[in-house]
Amino acid sequence: MPTPCDLLLTNAHIVTMDDRFTVYARGALAITAGDIVAVGPIAGDYAATETFDCKGREVMPGLVNAHTHAPMTLLRGLADDLRLDVWLLGYMMPVERAFVRPEFVALGTTLACAEMIRSGTTCFADMYYFEESVADATARAGMRALCGQTVLKFPAPDAASFEDSLSRAREFITTWKGHRLITPSVAPHAPYTCTEEILRLCAELAHELDVPLHTHLAETATEVETSRREHGMPVIPWVKKHRLFDAHVLAAHCVHIDGGEMTALREARAGVAHNPTSNLKLGSGIAPVASMIEHGIAVGIGTDGPASNNDLDMFEELRLAALLAKGAGNNPTALPARDALTMATRMGARAIGLGAVTGSLEPGKRADLIVVDLDQTHNAPRFERDPGAVYSQLVYAAKATDVVDVMCDGQWLMRDRQLLTIDEAGVKSEAAAMARRIDTFLIEREGSVLQKLVAIGGAAEQESFEVQVKVKLTKPDDVLKALRASDEITVIRSVHYHQYDTYFFFDDPSQGRLRYREDETLDANDNVVSGRARLTLTGPSREAAFGSVLLFRSRFLAPAAHSPRFYREYFRPAREREVAKDRRRWLVAFHGVQFYLHLDRLEKPYVGDFLELKSRTWSRRDAQDKAAVISELLRLLGTNPDEATERDYVEL
């Protein structure tokens, strides 16, 4: 008497990916209420409401994408081949600040689901903002996901402070916990974007609500170096110290970890998501995957966000994982095809905390499966001598487009390459409209050096006017003597420093010029005691001249948080020039007016000594008055105002 079931898949070459790697050359799979109830030569044992003929094709578990930021499909291809910081701070974050809203997140997630379903993924681990919109869009698409609400120490698109995002996370988890498709989680972004307190509070929240914690760990060598320098230890021990592993952790990347850290991860039962494309594309390195697996860590494979990949194709990703492990270790036997496929299925599911639910075709797990057609020219011929050859076919030659049918939780999401739960054309058209808006935003910004500065500085435009004059000196010591001898000049304070300027010039002169200025302050013995860097954007021309005294306007002034290389790549100047000088500076009062008095020795280019006088001003009338005082001061210091040069140092 056959057992009743909802659906029976027949005539299937079943690659179960169970822990004995059972393969059924001609098998069947019975499903009831979304669960797998039997797999194997069981067709005759079941009476199904519906039967589906697999036509002898491969039936295997749906792939598990162990780390992504699904909504970032909408930023795919926006900016590529850039330094990590330019890409992140110059493009991703400003655009996210301007565009990421719940509707953006929902749209991007739906687009991502469409792409993932098409390429055979049924489950993914996500981390983004407005994660309830990710969860909702994913559940509507019928996919399974671990959804992590981001928490970080900076203001985020969905929260003004980390306390806000933490309470968002609590609410999100409470609302979604117990959903059949969605497992909510909290996602402290990374150790370097969180405080110790945030890490601890997130772990406590995950522990209290019994959900996984998703984070980025040890992605770049710089992150590890910084951790060693600031905390005296690498990343894993540091987060362990702050009790992160009180939660079940899914750690993305782990590119730069050592054997001891691997042991710590295994002891913490943490899962790792390996993201080979992203790690290569961003130049982060090659994760020691084979070694992690030897250490007993569950390592899954992720695409990372589509902005750093640039797609969500797990077939590409698992092939790259298999290839890269061999290349990195000069060992063609490293990470064989079957192991790579395990990472993308059963082991990946375990890594993200869903090992009991998905990742293999076994009774008791959810019916998350795909049908793959290996009868493709790029996969012909097929050898049958070795039953394990199917893993090699799936890993080294199959393409995402060979996936024909996709089921998640017993529901068909794709049949014969037609999506059933998503209006694909509608989503693509909405995504195109969003891209137009982002294009417009960036075209406007890219058109203006000032706008680009504001985008990365997070600072508002600040204007500053000053009058200035500059006279070349043959005997600078005479000026020094005159300064010291004069009763009319009061020295308020003085300082001595080296100043290194890098000027960026642009093809469009109306953009002005940008100066990256680095000061090294010197003590009485000429030892460097401190340093700082600033950016100044100067208008294209002087505003006015009063004799030899000139009126200038600085349109922007801000601390320079990045290196000249960063700014060079971000602004792409048409040309640049360096100026270095030794400067002694006095703040003086003369006839009731405060001036900066500079004795400058120009060292690069070497053009000798100068006296420069500067004063802040706020109106043309005030500027004119100060110009008269400056002329007097110049004479008092033994120089001739008529010999003043109008050229700036960078023009000499």
Residues 566-625 that bind its own copies (CB under 8 A): 569
150-209 residues in contact with its own copies (CB under 8 A) are none
Which residues does 448 contact at the CB level (< 8 Å), separation at least 6? 511
Name the minimum Å distance from CB 438 to its own copies. Answer: 7
Tell me the two tokens of residue 142: 């019928």
The DSSP secondary structure of 549-560, one letter per residue, reads: EEEEEEEEEEE-
Name the minimum Å distance from CB 314 to its own copies. Answer: 12
459-478 residues in contact with its own copies (CB under 8 A) are none
Which of 164, 204, 316, 576 touches its own copies by CB under 8 A? Answer: 316
With binding defined as CB under 8 A, does residue 626 bind its own copies?
no
Which of 39, 318, 431, 560 touches its own copies by CB under 8 A? Answer: 431
- What would you report as the CA-atom Rg of the chain, rounded to the nearest whole angstrom? 32
H-helix segments, 282-362? 289-294, 314-329, 337-343, 346-351
233-272 residues in contact with its own copies (CB under 8 A) are none
- Closest to its own copies by CB, 318 or 471: 318
With binding defined as CB under 8 A, does residue 119 bind its own copies?
yes
With binding defined as CB under 8 A, does residue 274 bind its own copies?
no
CA atoms of 136 and 591, how far apart (whole Å): 70
- Compute the half-sphere exposure of residue 25: CA atoms within 13 Å on the CB side of its CA: 6
Name the minimum Å distance from CB 307 to its own copies. Answer: 10
CA distances from 147 to 138, 312, 313, 571 (A): 9, 16, 19, 36
289-308 residues in contact with its own copies (CB under 8 A) are 306
With binding defined as CB under 8 A, does residue 326 bind its own copies?
yes
CA atoms of 411 and 52, how far apart (whole Å): 13
- Closest to its own copies by CB, 37 or 395: 395
- Compute the half-sphere exposure of residue 394: CA atoms within 13 Å on the CB side of its CA: 33
Q: Are 214 and 252 in contact (CB under 8 A)?
A: yes
Which of 4, 259, 283, 531 touches its own copies by CB under 8 A? Answer: 283
Burial label for 563, CB within 10 Å (0-12, 13-18, 19+), is middle
CA atoms of 251 and 258, how far apart (whole Å): 15
648 bridge partner residues:
none
Name the minimum Å distance from CB 123 to its own copies. Answer: 18
Contact track, its own copies, 214-233, x by CB under 8 A: -------x------------
Between CA 242 and CA 249, with CA 245 as vertex, the angle to 5 degrees is 125
18-77 residues in contact with its own copies (CB under 8 A) are 73-74, 76-77
With binding defined as CB under 8 A, does residue 279 bind its own copies?
yes
Name the minimum Å distance from CB 469 to its own copies. Answer: 43
- Closest to its own copies by CB, 431 or 588: 431
With binding defined as CB under 8 A, does residue 285 bind its own copies?
yes
Name the minimum Å distance from CB 22 to its own copies. Answer: 20
397-416 residues in contact with its own copies (CB under 8 A) are 397, 399-401
With binding defined as CB under 8 A, does residue 281 bind its own copies?
yes
Contact track, its own copies, 81-110, x by CB under 8 A: xxxx--x-----------------------
H-helix segments, 177-213? 196-209
Torsion 486-488-492-495 (CA) sign: negative
Name the minimum Å distance from CB 400 to its own copies. Answer: 7
With binding defined as CB under 8 A, does residue 435 bind its own copies?
yes
Which of 1, 160, 333, 418 touches its own copies by CB under 8 A? Answer: 333
- Closest to its own copies by CB, 276 or 353: 276
Name the minimum Å distance from CB 319 to its own copies. Answer: 8
With binding defined as CB under 8 A, does residue 508 bind its own copies?
no
Tell me the two tokens of residue 585: 């500076």
Between CA 131 and CA 143, with CA 137 as vertex, the angle to 5 degrees is 105
CA atoms of 129 and 92, how far apart (whole Å): 13
With binding defined as CB under 8 A, does residue 458 bind its own copies?
no
Contact track, its own copies, 344-383, x by CB under 8 A: -------------------------------x-xxxxxxx
Closest residue by Cα to residue 294 from 333, 266, 332:
266
